Structure 1
Amino acid sequence: MTTWRTDTGAGAGPIPVAIVGGGVIGHNHAAAILRHPRLRIACVVDPAALAGRGLAERVAAQTGAEQPARYESLTDALAKQEIGLVVICTPSGTHAGLTEEALGAGKHVVIEKPLDVSLPRARQLTRLAADAQSRGIVCSVISQHRFDPASIAVSEAIAAGRLGRITSAVASVAWWRGQRYYDSADWRGTWDLDGGGALMNQAVHTVDLLLWLLGRPTEVFAYTALLAHERIEVEDVAVATIRFASGALAVLHASTGAYPGLSARLQVHGTRGSAIIDGDQLEYLHAAGDTVEDPEDPEDPVNQAAEALPAAELRGAAKQPDSFVLGHLRQYADIVTAIDRGEPPSIRVEDGFTVLAVVKAVYLAATLGRPVPVDDVRQGLLDHVPVRSQGSGERGEQR
């Protein structure tokens, strides 16, 4: 089968999409894909026939068109179906292998977070994606919150120097997942397929924003614990400190044991201003920049958030019911542009690898009981160290 390529310029044709994984995340991606005028869901790939059938039927109901084809394997779909873009929405531990197969077939790829659970596989995938990009094949990892208006407003303020020198940050994801969530699938809460707990799965997007705003991380120290759930191998609480190349320090907190479930919150502080993003909305922004001669005693730390964004994007405003879809839709727009232009997308596999390295550094620091250099993790110097499991049904710290 010949490699499918998109047309460019005016009148460019639709891009046929294969969604691999018919679960919740697959449905969320489908909702975004259906809203992009250039994307068309051609098939659903899922060995769980009921999951795949449910997604295919939903697509048909929303479009009024014939149901997308269904396949039990990506190999079968690639051999029989015209595909331009493969979207990986399967359990995390399967991401690298499926992505490698899709790239090998010359297809553009979108990978749901995280990149994978294995650093060696993710490292190899980073090299494969870079080689594919040199041939005009786009590969991107979902980091949709970088496209949120609140995130962009804070990023622009930092880039313009309006917050001064960034000194610190506090990132917290205080969510709740009941035992039923972990019991709903055999792969949940396992190191092999889930790759971790509250940090790897629930807080990974907040970690991504933290790194995007503060720059290159250099060292991590952490503790993790299993305190609120049973019958899982991974943590439901993680706390860490992260040092950055700039000298800035950050505190990271992730939990699925914070009943009844609060918000994802990111505070960034500098010598000339601070910003707070809460629940993807801008809660606070004060950026003095060069307008204040003496910042020793701020006289008017007014909240400038309303000057930066419309009311609908400010903390406390009613969130749009499709806000989750909008984040993905914005990233898909970026990916389609990259495909058309033959350029790298805004979010590359290398970005996803850095986030994965920091998450792994947290787990390794908690296991080893000492600070862990992030470069050691990136370079594979600690690949031989097994992250310690709490064991079935046990509660306690990973040390």
Structure 2
Amino acid sequence: MSKVRLGIIGLGAQGGAYAGFIAEGKVPNMVIGAICDTDPEKKAVAAEKYPDVPFYDNYIDMLESGDVDAVVTCVPHYLHPEMGIEALKRDVHALVEKPAGVYTKQVRELNEFAATKPELTFGIMFNQRTNELYQKVKQIVDNGEIGKIRRTNWIITTWWRPQGYYDQSAWRATWEGEGGGVLVNQAPHQLDLLQWIAGMPKKVYSNVKYGYQRDIAVEDEVTALLDYGNGATGVFITATHDIMGTDRFEIHGDNGKIVVDDSKKVTIKRLRKPESEMSATMSMMDVAKIFMGGDTDDLYEEEVIEFESVWGAQHSAVMENFAANILDGTPLLAPGSDGINGVALANAIHLSSWLGKEVELPVDEDLYFDELQKKIEEEKLNPIKK
């Protein structure tokens, strides 16, 4: 096999974009093997754009057709684990979209089944992991350049969505159809990057607003306090109603600080001595000079790096890496098993707000599932979307 034949399940915005990337040659080690969608209109679209590509209206039929070596699941979140399992059952490699699922119980089932098929490639579309900026940040943290982490702070509110966005489909922004709001739709990449770079917190306490500025049942505003269990803390803020949104990620360590602005610029400040040593040895005269705006060159060095990002290149890079793993064993940038971590964080944030208290990770999976079912039943009795 020189190229992987990818089956695209769901020819919506994301699936359509992936088909375009492959057709345009942006994923050199991959071709479109087949397309599947339950919408008859998508069949006409596929016939016009990709006349030589087989089309299916049932994804099981596509998995069993022999037309595909792998699939990508561009479908509502609840279906990702089920489709991943069904593909792997039939010895078809699986690339699941983010998030890996809505709740960790179903994602764990996917991970456990995938573990029984080590010969198959199981990946997740965490395209931000291919972003050179975040790779650089992770490298700095992993290398210990800023020392032990003391605090993380990410405000990511660049997800402005008007009411019309939510009204365009009945399933969107519902507990039954989507399983949540900004935490499961827009912010999974940041939740993944946060734990990928800084590690998983041990406890979460959250203040979450449901339908705060939009006529929806799910969350459109989130503030979460993270406890890493070793003294370090974090704050994660996200929302979909800020038209002038902010994207700023700070990591403060014993020996320095990293600030990411707009996912484009990284400022690294490396202390010349650990903060604890400075605190123990500096005279108050030296401290006064700092407070009065004195020269800081003796305290820390500063490095600023700016990155350019081309939309679509990151998604193509994940697909190319996924195909390379199938073809020659190239290590995966985003193993599918990692998907459970971001889902666990989202579940913990939800559960803390539902219970009105701090929750420990990993969360009680059965409790989360039961509380989610309550939300679904409440939504059926009092639907916001008619």
Q: Per the shorter chain, which TM-score range? A: 0.7 to 0.9
Query: Normalising by the residue count of structure 2, what TM-score does the alignment of the two structures yield?
Result: 0.86
CA gap of 1:79–1:262, structure 2 versus 1, over 3 A, is same
2:161 is the counterpart of 1:177: yes
CA gap of 1:220–1:94, structure 2 versus 1, over 3 A, is same
Contact 2:155–2:237 under 8 Å retained in 1: yes
For residue 131 of structure 1, the aligned residue among 98, 116, 129 is: 116
Note the C-alpha offset of 1:253.
1.0
In the TM superposition, what whole-angstrom CA distance separates every residue of 1:14-59 from its partner, at most 9, and x where no partner exists?
Answer: 111111111111123234434111100121111112235435644x
Q: Which amino acid aligns with 1:347?
A: A
Note the C-alpha offset of 1:393.
3.9
2:170 is the counterpart of 1:186: yes
Aligned to 1:151: 134
Aligned to 1:83: 68
Q: Tell me, in whole angstroms, the C-alpha distance in 2 between the residues paired with 1:305 and 1:16.
A: 41
2:312 is the counterpart of 1:325: yes
Matches within 5 A, 1:11-30: 13-30=2-19
Aligned to 2:283: none
Contact 2:224–2:236 under 8 Å retained in 1: yes
Query: Normalising by the residue count of structure 1, what TM-score does the alignment of the two structures yield?
Result: 0.83
Contact 1:113–1:141 under 8 Å retained in 2: yes
Compute the RMSD of aligned alpha carbons. 2.5
CA gap of 1:392–1:287, structure 2 versus 1, over 3 A, is farther
Identical positions, percent:
25
2:304 is the counterpart of 1:305: yes
2:80 is the counterpart of 1:95: yes
Note the C-alpha offset of 1:138.
0.7
Aligned to 1:365: 352
Aligned to 1:383: 369
Note the C-alpha offset of 1:262.
2.2
CA gap of 1:117–1:293, structure 2 versus 1, over 3 A, is closer
* Residue aligned with 1:167, SS: strand
Contact 2:33–2:54 under 8 Å retained in 1: yes
Alignment length, in residue pairs?
360
Q: Tell me, in whole angstroms, the C-alpha distance in 2 between the residues paired with 1:380 and 1:88.
A: 26
* Residue aligned with 1:120, SS: helix
CA gap of 1:52–1:181, structure 2 versus 1, over 3 A, is farther
2:102 is the counterpart of 1:111: no
Q: Which runs of 4+ in 1 moved over 6 A?
A: 289-293
In the TM superposition, what whole-angstrom CA distance separates every residue of 1:363-394 from its partner, at most 9, and x where no partner exists?
Answer: 100000001111234x5454333364675449
In the TM superposition, what whole-angstrom CA distance separates every residue of 1:87-127 from its partner, at most 9, and x where no partner exists?
Answer: 00011111111111111110111111011113322111110
Q: Which segments of 5 or more consecutive residues in structure 2 lack a partner in the other structure? A: 280-286, 291-295
Q: Tell me, in whole angstroms, the C-alpha distance in 2 between the residues paired with 1:337 and 1:49.
A: 33
Note the C-alpha offset of 1:192.
2.2
Aligned to 2:284: none
Note the C-alpha offset of 1:263.
4.2
Contact 1:224–1:238 under 8 Å retained in 2: yes
Q: Which amino acid aligns with 1:338?
A: N
Aligned to 1:70: 55
